[in-house]
Structure 1
């Protein structure tokens, strides 16, 4: 400890008289032998020195002390190394000791202040709680006193108001009485005052019942007399006396009677309308519209009255009563519609026509008669859908404005939706739409068949009349279905339109195209006769020419139908987006799926076009081109300079070939549509290149012959490029590469174009085809052999590629060859 000397002074820690350690011990002076004789040291059978295991190692016990001694020394050395650090830390602690004492003093003071504040706050809060309790009790007492005073005031006031027939004031007294808690008032009054309260309660209950009877009877009397002012007066009193439902029900019945009366008058006028009137064909749709507008007007006028006196969330009660009357009147209108339009007979006859497929046209129901009926049916459903959307919008808006909880609001909205979907008006319209779909299908199918039967071709048109007539009918029917505002009806009509176009109209075109383009005697003459027959607007007597005309016109019809389908889909998509903007996502998905099916019909018409051109190619193009290409085979391309010069002056083949093709294309150009004409040129080009490739591989060439072939090919490509808007040079790629090979001065020059030296050039010819083309240069046989040796040597320098089948159009990679 500080201030104490250690070791203590004055005390000899070790005796000074004793040498320690002893400087000498004379073992010999004792007379004892050391070590003792006769004793084996170390003893036998005992390991010496003894060992101990430390850290997994065996250490002799003698060395154990040294080991621990060294360990302690190491620890001391480590501590001594940190001496300066420890001293600096201790110095820092000594410096902050005064501050810690101050901090301790401040902490004690703070603790005292906090304790005092806590005690004070607890005392204050307890007193505040006591005051709050006292205040609440005083307030409750005041409220009870006021309630008692109000009770007495209401008791006296309601009697006076009833005597004076001031029913509004009496109702306000009853309303105030109804807001009081009768049980609480009885508990807070003294016993001697109980009889007085009982008397007041009895009088007020009697006055309430009496007032209810008076208001109900007065309202009925006002309704009977048609006194609108009194009706509104007593309608406002019902909620004050707790008769919300009864008031709305009575008022709704009164409004329904007015609607019934006005609807009856309108229906009588509809029955007596002059058939020459412009609205005669849609008079029942107009009658329904007037009914819906009358209901909407009533809701518009009476909604503020209901919201003010009955509160939000109760408008639906009134609207249900109005809708019930609307259902009754709508059924009467629909029954009149069915009777006057002979609707049931029309439906039955159309069903029979569809089932029995009557062959005699005179027995069939005229589809034109359906046109007016269908328009009125669609208008009926359109106006109904518009009215039901208004009904839902007003009812849901009133529910959303109420003070109900969110779960209650959602439940109320679902009740509104269920009511609308199950009301009699909705069921009537579902029946109408079901019949409409059947009648519209019959109308569309019969009109399409009539358009096909009355098909004709005008001189100024490359298509026949049935294309325009058919798509006019289909567009009219689908747009009429769109105007019905019924998603299911629109989807059904879109599916039916696809069925009629694909199964009825397309099959007519396919059956005509399937017959093929007939083989004629002289094709150039046949084309001229076809053109003449089209221009004259009539068919020649020749059956062959008639078949050719029918084939070409059908091909144009199929191409036009494909374009009309795309245009119809686009226009319907725009109308769907506008008319069904606020429908559900599920309904939008259904509509898009049906519109997508209409787009698939366009591809089905494209199949007719493709099939027709395959027929036309085999029936007209191939027979016409083959003799022209045969002339190329008979024309020598192993020529001298004199022959080459003579060919320049008098071309032996290509000019005549171009003239013949131009004649053929010109004749077809006047009969084919622009799109089909380009397709015809494309097929002609494909056939030219196919036959020319075969002809080239059968012809011998020399250097000048290859140059002549290159000139002929350029002239042919230039002509065909000028007669179409499509790109046709790609079809001549293989022939162009053949001409390049045949135009080489030496066969070895192929290495400048082949393999690594090909640059951006993509070869369409396989290595074997290149060798075959080179072999056409008969005078260069030796060069070809040298070329083969060069290719073989080059291929030995790298592993052979895997064997792979090549199509004629497959691009050949440089450095590969075929075995």
Structure 2
């Protein structure tokens, strides 16, 4: 390093800087000290003061210079091109300017290095102080470590050994204590067992105290079996009086008592001694024979069920009571009520002495008896009522009237459907199937199915409620029926019948003997009722199309078949829903929809096509009045039928509010949920009913629209053009002044001009003409049609009238002046008001809706009557243009050009 200093003549501060940097590197142990050593040993020296700072080989190669023959040699002299950005070397300077530049650069470097060196020297004191502090901390830590090792080996090791010995002693003591407790427990159990064995033997001896003996056996049953069968008990329990092992003694005593209790129970049953029956029934679980007690009790209650069922059935056998329409339904109801009373009355006793859910075993035994007795009742009913023969007759019924009604009509001699000749000449085709008898059978079957549903619901609730969580409380109502006070169980699971009830033979017999015949008979009954209703159909009397003549019948004007059929629909729906059988509802309700669609709608359609079609005898003339009236009545039939079906379905599906309690509290009841407690079944029943209403309404609406179109085409349409032409007859819209008698002058009364001639100036020609003809055309029809049907007809009529009026407005091109445009606007408004006001109150509700059909006409006359400022606003697309949304921009220009200005 001294050699480099002599050659470069560095100042002393450069040496200090280099020494200080190398010392830092050596203290910190970094990899910079070798470079400093290399700096001291090698013959190459960096001219830059920062040469001793760590840098890469590339940097070193760029900044280092070679020393050759005692002078610095640049890399360019060694064959390398010098970098353009490096300062000029003082030794290679070729001019005074370069030397001054090099010196200036060296001076700047000296200032920078000096500042950094001063900072390093200033920070060296703090660095040295921190190093000294670290040395002190290291010395202190060493002393602490020595002290810790001394404490650990000198004090804690002995304490740890002592604690381990104490812990082992405690564990040994706990083990000995547990063994002592186990031994004492076994001794106590053996002592209890010995006392029970001796007590059983003593009670079964001379005292014959069966309750005490049973209680001793019950206490002995609580001793663990391993103790009873253990060797210690076998050594300690036997005595001279009872030498057998305890398990043998107890088993023999239980068998002996069980036989004794069975004999005494059967004896009490024969004597009909209820107290003794209950006494011995309660003893079976005490001796571990619960199954035997439940079986013998089930046999006992089944005997009572069988005897009462036979008594109820024999009460009407061969007598007049069996002819009663509800005798067998009452017999089946009494059977179910008796079983329900037994379950409800004895369930608490069984649960209290035999444990929870033990009553289910008795219920299963009762269900077997119910299968037997209920099957006997159903078989007897089926034979007595000749169900199979009636089903055969029903299936062979041909529905001759309905079939012949759909055949091509003989127009040469076709009598009216309600004529006496037709009614009196009907063949006695229904003598083979008595409708009154079928109705009675349906009522009886509906009662049976309803009672079966209630019975199944009670059994399901009784069995499933025992599986509720402990937080659910049970209440007993006044009828002794278990109900939930806190609903914590899913309703679907709560009312799902148990498996033994689903697989019961009575359930299958209910399906075969009741549900299937009920569905078949209901279908026949309804279709035959529809046929009978059309056979006895009567038209409303006193209807006429003359507006001056009053109508003798009250609205709605429909035939008698509609009321008859809808009454039967309501009756059949009530009957089917009352069964609470979802399979019945899903079968009967769609069948009603099919029959209504095929027979009711089909028959009406056939009459509208063949019997009452309003066809004029001569083209351009009106159809016969009676034919038009009959056709309008058939349209009313369809419209009223839809309303009836909708109301019937709503009556069965909507919730009803009832006032309950003395405080007048309002309670909502859902009729379907009361009949179908399972939510899924109630929802399915509601969907089935809604489907009936929607499908029937959809089918009727199609035919109703066709019927309205026929009335419009054959009765109304051909008269609209003459009515409109007559209204605008001899009317011109380019008058010279207001006194022109053909200009439809319109003045408001009260203008102050009282001297104006009333005959000319106040004469409004278009609206009175149109209103008179329009009313004469539609008022007779509106008096007969229902409000909704006439609204349909008016909707079609005003749409066509609007098109005719628009064509007439276009025909006035070039024949209107400014004053005539104003008058034309008033006349068109008068026509529109008269058109929508026909029919009185019937047209008022839809007045503004029907005005929409004339929107184009009203906007056309509005454009005609605009002044220049308003029209300019329209052309600019202002607010006035938004009012004219029914006509296009081109049409507005054409309309504006129609007026001569």
TM range (shorter): 0.7 to 0.9
Partner deviation per Cα, 1:786-810 (whole Å, 9 max, x = no partner): xxxxxxxxxxxxxxxxxxxxxxxxx
CA contact (8 A) 1:626 1:691 kept: yes
CA spacing shift, 1:358–1:86, aligned 2, 3 Å: same
Out of 420, 429, 446, the residue aligned to residue 378 of structure 1 is 446
| One of 172, 184, 188 as aligned partner of 2:215 | 172
Match of 2:874 in 1: 753
Q: How does 1:483-522 map to 2 (within 5 A)?
A: 483-514=578-609, 518-520=614-616
Pick aligned residue for 2:501 from 417, 420, 428:
420
Q: CA deviation at 1:477?
A: 0.6
- Kindly tell me the number of residue pairs found equivalent between the two proteins: 715
Distance 1:289 1:759, change over 3 A: same
Counterpart for residue 354 of structure 2: 310
Q: Which residue of 2 aligns with 1:580?
A: 673
1:427-438 matches, cutoff 5 A: 427-431=508-512, 432-438=514-520
Q: Deviations over 1:102-152 (max 9, x none)?
A: 999999999899989877765555444333322322222223223333343
SS in 2 for 1:362: coil
Could you tell me whether the CA contact under 8 Å between 1:475 and 1:568 is conserved in 2? yes
Structure 1 position 369 matched with structure 2 position 432? no
Counterpart position of 2:424: none
1:718 aligns with 2:833: yes
User: Pairwise mapping of residues 517-556 of structure 1 onto structure 2 (< 5 A)?
Assistant: 518-520=614-616, 544-556=624-636
Sort the Cα spacing of 1:133 and 1:691 in 2 relative to 1 into closer, same or farther, 3 A: same
Does structure 2 retain, via aligned residues, the 8 Å contact 1:368–1:443? Answer: no
Counterpart mapping for 1:619-634 below 5 A: 619-631=714-726
Task: Report Cα offsets for 1:62-118 as digits up to 9, x if no partner.
Answer: 459999x99999998887686687689789989999999999999999989998987
String of CA shifts for 1:641-673, please: whole Å, max 9, x gaps.
258620332555442222100111221121111
Confirm whether residue 394 of structure 1 aligns to residue 440 of structure 2.
no
2:459–2:497: 8 Å Cα contact kept in structure 1?
A: no
Partner of 1:266: 312
Distance 1:258 1:56, change over 3 A: farther
Partner of 1:6: none
Distance change in 2, residues 1:669/1:413 (3 Å): closer
CA contact (8 A) 1:633 1:698 kept: no
What is the rounded CA distance, in whole Å, between the counterparts of 2:606 and 2:220 in structure 1? Answer: 89
Given the alignment, which residue of 275, 281, 291 partners 1:245?
Answer: 291
The structural deviation recorded for 1:255 is: 0.8
Q: Which residue of 2 aligns with 1:540?
A: none
Q: State the Cα RMSD in Å.
A: 4.7
Report if the CA contact (8 A) 2:597-2:699 is conserved: yes
Q: CA deviation at 1:318?
A: 0.9
Q: Give the distance between the partners of 1:116 and 1:307, measured in 2 at CA.
A: 66
| Matched residue, 1:146 | 188
Q: Could you tell me whether the CA contact under 8 Å between 2:712 and 2:797 is conserved in 1?
A: yes
* TM-score relative to the length of structure 1: 0.76
2:422 corresponds to 1:327: no
Cα distance in structure 1, aligned partners of 2:470 and 2:261? 27
1:58-77 aligned within 5 A:
59=61, 62-63=64-65
Contact in 2 for aligned 1:517/1:551 (Cα 8 Å): yes
Match of 2:861 in 1: 739
Q: 1:604 aligns with which of 699, 715, 723?
A: 699
Q: How does 1:334-353 map to 2 (within 5 A)?
A: 334-353=378-397
Alpha-carbon spacing, 1:652–1:524, altered in 2? closer, same or farther (3 Å): farther
- What is the CA–CA distance in structure 2 between the aligned matches of 1:21 and 1:654, rounded to whole Å? 129
- Looking at structure 1, the residues matched to 614 and 7 of structure 2 have their Cα atoms a distance apart, in angstroms, of 146
Alignment partners' CA distance in 2, 1:508 and 1:110 = 115
Give the Cα–Cα distance (whole angstroms) in 2 for the partners of residues 293 and 607 of structure 1.
51
Partner of 2:885, secondary structure, is coil
Q: SS of the residue aligned with 2:821?
A: helix
Aligned residue among 851, 873, 885 for 1:763: 885
Equivalence for 1:531: none
With the length of structure 2 as denominator, give the TM-score of the two structures. 0.69
Distance in 1 separating the partners of 2:585 and 2:595: 15
- Alpha-carbon separation, structure 1, partners of 2:735 and 2:4: 140
Go from structure 1 to structure 2 and tell me whether the alpha carbon gap of 1:469 and 1:191 turns closer, same or farther (over 3 Å shift): closer
> For the structure 1 residues 587 and 57, does the alpha-carbon distance in structure 2 shift closer, same or farther, using more than 3 Å as the test?
farther
**CA distance in 1: counterparts of 2:256 and 2:648, whole angstroms:** 71
Using a 3 Å threshold, how does the CA distance of structure 1 residues 21 and 332 change in structure 2: closer, same or farther?
Answer: closer
Question: Does the 8 A contact of 2:196 with 2:219 survive in 1?
Answer: yes
Matched residue, 2:179:
137
Asked if residue 157 in structure 1 is aligned to residue 253 in structure 2, the reply is: no
Partner Cα distance (1:91, 1:456) in 2: 127
* Deviation for aligned residue 1:586: 3.5
Q: Equivalents in 2 of 1:414, 1:639: separation in Å? A: 84
Say whether 1:464 aligns with 2:559. yes
Change (3 A) 1:88 1:239: farther
Is the 8 Å Cα contact of residues 637 and 708 (structure 1) preserved in structure 2? no
Q: Cα deviation per residue 1:486-514 (whole Å; 9 max; x = unaligned)?
A: 11211222212222222221222333344
Q: CA deviation at 1:482?
A: 0.8
Q: Which residue of 1 aligns with 2:532?
A: 450
The answer to whether the aligner puts 1:295 opposite 2:339 as a matched pair is: yes
Q: CA deviation at 1:316?
A: 0.7
Give the corresponding residue for 1:11.
none
Structure 2: which 5+ residue stretches go unaligned? 9-45, 47-53, 73-85, 87-108, 405-426, 472-492, 541-552, 656-668, 746-759
Q: Does structure 2 retain, via aligned residues, the 8 Å contact 1:632–1:695?
A: no
Distance in 2 (CA, whole Å) between partners of 1:88 and 1:566 is 102
Counterparts of 2:384 and 2:147, CA distance in 1: 106
Report the alpha carbon displacement of residue 460 of structure 1 after superposing the two structures with TM: 1.8
Give me the whole-angstrom Cα distance separating, in 2, the residues matched to 1:584 and 1:88: 90
What is the CA-CA distance between 1:585 and the residue it aligns to? 4.5
Give yes or no for contact 2:766–2:831 (8 Å, CA) kept in 1: no
- Maintained 8 Å contact 2:649/2:693: yes
Change beyond 3 A, Cα 1:586–1:104: farther
Residues 547/93 of structure 1: CA separation in 2 closer, same or farther (3 Å cut): farther
The answer to whether the 8 A contact 1:621-1:687 is kept is no
Summarize the Cα distance change of 1:754–1:366 in structure 2 as closer, same or farther, 3 Å threshold. farther
